[in-house]
A = this chain, B = another copy of it.
Amino acid sequence: MGLDTAVSKPHEALAALLSEDMGAVNALIEDRMASEHAPRIPEVTAHLVGAGGKRLRPMLTLAAARLCGYTGPYHVHLAATVEFIHTATLLHDDVVDESAQRRGRPTANLLWDNKSSVLVGDYLFSRSFQLMTETGNLDVLRILSNASATIAEGEVLQLTAATDLRTDEAIYLQVVRGKTAALFSAATEVGGVIAGADAAHIQALFDYGDALGIAFQIADDLLDYQGDSAQTGKNVGDDFRERKLTLPVIKAVAQATAEERDFWVRTIEKGRQEDADLDHALALMDKYGTLSATRQDALAWAEKAKASIGQLPDHDIRDLLIGIADYVVSRLN
């Protein structure tokens, strides 16, 4: 291991620092996504895993474990566990959202069918539980099985909350904690737990993952309205068209006049949208400054993440984790 200072993006620097560990994680993922009897399983999984993505979550587990001085083999199992849970969730999300694209490629539900996505997702969930069981550590089993339940609960909550104008910032935060932050915080927490870190450090790692995940999701929701579609790979206003209540709209609804509220009822709750509606929605967000308020929220969560990880001892990895907290909100200008 050695810090490659020529790399400027912190997640790339972290990947370089942890490249040996990440190689072991990738080999384990490759090994466990196989299936003796059902070739459809590695086909579907390879399509998604092969598409890349930053592997941020498993890297967080490796980083947390190394930061706490772990020298055993099981951080690799835990990192692969986290990536399998994430991949299973993506497969099921794309079925639920009827998505056609993911990471710039057609989704598995489009290339194969919903059936394959549902069942291969179940397979990867099961594989993730096998992997975590192999660590023999009941604390990590408890943390990761709790995280899985929180993720599924958050997704179900989102089903009903997304198009309901009564959804306020507290409910939004619950959904975000479920669908995104729960896996981030479990990823960092189990890294500390497997390393036998003390309770205060484990709590700080959890808080870092929690705040980082929330910052990450708020940034994602904001970029949906003000991102550069060439960079994000999404069209501006996809969430509006899909009638997803996210923070910029929730803040506008909270301050809406009666007439504006009627607009949100029609476009989000009833889903009766016309061509000019997105522009009007953006004008209302501008009127109340909700995009910049949302940006402030994301930045505040990133600061919270940095303060939490700052409680750990001085270490190259700690500084890169601080850098990653800045990085996830750096796309917001």
Which A residues form the contact surface with B (CB < 8 A)?
35, 37-41, 92, 95-96, 114-116, 118-123, 125-127, 129-130, 133, 136, 138, 141-142, 145-146, 148-149, 151-157, 159-160, 174, 178
Contacts and interface: CB of A to CB of B under 8 A. Distances in A.
Given A37-B157, A118-B118, A130-B146, 15 more contacts: A37-B153, A95-B114, A119-B152, A119-B155, A119-B156, A121-B122, A122-B148, A122-B155, A123-B152, A126-B148, A126-B152, A129-B129, A129-B141, A130-B145, A133-B145
A237 B222 CA distance: 53
Most chain B CB atoms below 10 A, which of A38, A115, A130, A138: A38
Contacts of A157: 37-38, 40
A127 B141 CA distance: 12
B138 A133 contact: yes
B119 A96 contact: yes
A73 B16 CA distance: 49
B40 A156 contact: yes
A140 to B, nearest CB: 10
A62 to B, nearest CB: 22
A153 B95 contact: no
How many copies of this chain sit in the oligomeric assembly?
2
A35 B146 contact: no
18 contacts: A37-B153, A37-B174, A38-B153, A40-B156, A40-B157, A40-B160, A115-B159, A116-B156, A120-B152, A121-B122, A122-B125, A122-B152, A122-B155, A123-B152, A126-B145, A130-B149, A133-B145, A141-B141
Contact of A119 (B92, B125, B133): B92
A189 to B, nearest CB: 15
Contacts of A125: 122, 125, 148, 152
A128 B306 CA distance: 35
Nearest to A140: B133
Contacts of A121: 122
Contacts of A115: 95-96, 159
Contact of A118 (B96, B127, B142, B151): B96
Nearest to A122: B152
A174 B156 CA distance: 33
A154 B138 CA distance: 28
Contacts of A127: 149
Per CB-CB distance, the 5 closest pairs between chain A and chain B, nearest first, are: A126-B148, A123-B152, A126-B149, A129-B145, A122-B152
A164 to B, nearest CB: 12
A103 to B, nearest CB: 21
A114 B97 CA distance: 11
Nearest to A37: B157
